[in-house]
Structures are given as structure tokens and as C-alpha cells.
Amino acid sequence: MEIRQLKTFWTLASTCSFSQTAELLSYVPSTITMQIKSLEEELGVKLLDRLGKKVVLTDAGQQFLPYATKILNDVEEAKCISSQHGELAGTVVIGADEVLCAYLLPALFKRFRAEYPGVRLLFRPLSGQELKSSLREGHADVVFVLDEPINSKDLQSEFLKDETFQMVVSPDHMLASRSELVIDDFHKQHFLLTEKNCSYRTYFDQSITKKGVDALTELEFHSVEAIKQCVVAGLGIALLPEMALKKELREGEVVALPWDLSDVSFSAQMLWHREKWISPSMAAFMEVAKSELI
């Protein structure tokens, strides 16, 4: 069993793509296939299934991944201890939901790449529930969430910034010109919502139910961009983070409704596992993140 095989397996498990893994590791795809096959033969189990262009870990692959992650972390730690000089290198695996990836993190990634060109950033877009699991399972080093304040025994959090939410409609929506709204105004309206495991979707469901709306006509989306385009097209009402709406609000493509959202308390936060060894490259990324985003 070779370190390069473990690195290939770990990267493939992170990207779920042979072509992306080959690009990240500067291999041709056939080399990736050969290394995985050799590793499977040595272990005597099948680690992954290739379903079209997508890679899915088998049960054995899922069980083997934490061991591969630990070995690679130990190797990287040993390299850092034995190296006295030279450019900072390594890989940092980052996870975030769609909103933070699109509207908060690009400037951070650009600055970090300029300051630490030798460190590879591997980004994994994940849903709300998957983000915390990715830390606990060792699939990510650092994740960014938009959530209520997080108190966890095994996860460490760093507050970055509070986020304001807006309830928006298109300019020609029947509620757009209203200076005041009551809960009855929302009856028979169409709501365009994020998926149910999204933190602020959960808040919205609980809040609107408490205020007397017992049934909603809703369309559910996995993409905030899709929700915005449907709002612009006049298909309904959406509750979204203001960071995702700045352009549309400024250009008059959507209108914020006069609905009190002062009790919505969500913030952008950076999370990592308390027991994870923080490599120099991970520490550098976290420091740049705090400097850039706080």
C-alpha cells in the first residue's frame, strides 16, 4: 500500500470524479484507475462503484476512508515537523452551502491563493446537514455555514458576520406596493423555498406556522439562483439572505416586503473539528478567513 494510492483514493472520494481527481493530482485518468485497482486488489475489497461519470463509495470504501484520512494527516504532520523551511504546501478541504460559496467565499479564495500559491484548496459544495457530518467523518477540514449560533461538543466555531434576511417579490406582485402586511395577506400566496434541511427554511416553516398559516402553497428548490429567477418572473414570495439579493434589490428586479424579520438571527460561521490536527496550511487558511471575512 502506497501513500500515493491513499491520496488518490481520498481525492477521488472527495471529488466523486475521475477526471477532476486526475486534474488535481496531475495524472492521466488511466493512472487513477490503475492506482485504485491496485489498492482494491491489495485490500481484497471493492472500494468504489463507477456509475457513468459519477463515483460512489461502496460500504467498504466508506469504512476505509477514515483510515486513509488519518494516515494522510499523519504523513502531512510528519512532513511539517521535519521541514524547517520552504514554501507552505498541502491541501485544505473546504465545504460550504451554495449561498456562502457564491456570495461570501470567492474573495477569500482569491486572496488565499495569492498569499499561499503552494497550498491546494479543494472545495466541496454541500447541503446544511452534510456540512457538519463532513467534519465528523473527516471528509472536510473547514466548513462554512449560515446558521443560528452553533454550540457543539465536538465542533469548534468562529463567528464571522451576522446576516440579514429579506422577504422578496417581483415589482409587479400584488403585495409589492403594500406599506404594511398582516399574516392573512400570505394566504393563497405561493412561496418559493429552499430544501427542508436548510437552516433558514426550518426557521421559516416554524415561524409562519406560529403566526397562523397552517398550509402553504410552495415550490421547493435546491438552488438559490433558481429561486431568485422565479421571484423575478413573478412566481411567488421568497425568504433569502440579503447577501444573495444585493444586485437584484439595487437594480429593482425584486422588492423587499415590509415584514418584520428582526427575530431572524443567523450568522456566517467557520467550523472545524475540535480533535482534528490543524496543519500549517489549514491554520493559514483559517487566519486568512478570519482576516478577510470578519
CB-CB contact of 293 with 268 (8 Å):
yes
For every residue of 151-172, which 3-state class applies, written as one string?
Answer: CCCCEEEEEEEEECEEEEECCC
Query: Where do we find the cell 471575512?
Result: 293
Fold designation for 1-85 = Arc Repressor Mutant, subunit A (1.10.10)
CA-nearest of 143, 84, 153, 121 to 281 is 121
How wide is the angle at C-alpha 213 spanned by C-alphas 207 and 219, nearest 5°? 85
Q: pLDDT tens digits for 229-241?
A: 999 999 999 999 9
Beta strands in the chain (DSSP E): 48-51, 54-57, 90-96, 119-125, 142-147, 155-163, 165-169, 190-194, 217-221, 238-241, 255-256, 266-273
**In the predicted model, what is the mean pLDDT of residues 203-216?**
66
Q: How confident is the model at residue 173 (pLDDT cuts 50, 70, 90)?
A: very high
CA 54/CA 26 separation, integer angstroms: 20
Domain 86-163+264-294 top-level CATH class:
alpha beta
Q: Which grid coordinates are listed for 113?
A: 491563493
> Domain 165-262 belongs to what architecture?
3-Layer(aba) Sandwich (3.40)
Check if 1-85 and 86-163+264-294 are the same fold. Answer: no
pLDDT for the residue numbered 77: 67
Q: How confident is the model at residue 213 (pLDDT cuts 50, 70, 90)?
A: low
Task: Give the other-Cβ count within 10 Å of 73's Cβ.
Answer: 17
CA 246/CA 185 separation, integer angstroms: 25
Q: Which grid coordinates are listed for 8?
A: 488518490
Give backbone dihedrals phi and psi of 18, rounded to 5 degrees, phi first.
-65, -45
Whether pLDDT at 81 is above 70: no
Q: pLDDT tens digits for 26-78?
A: 888 889 999 999 999 999 999 998 887 778 899 999 899 888 888 887 777 67
Neighbouring residues of 283: CB distance < 8 A, sequence distance ≥ 6: none
CA 275/CA 272 separation, integer angstroms: 9
Please report, for the chain, the start and end positions of each structural domain, with discontinuous segments joined by +.
1-85, 86-163+264-294, 165-262
Whether pLDDT at 159 is above 90: yes
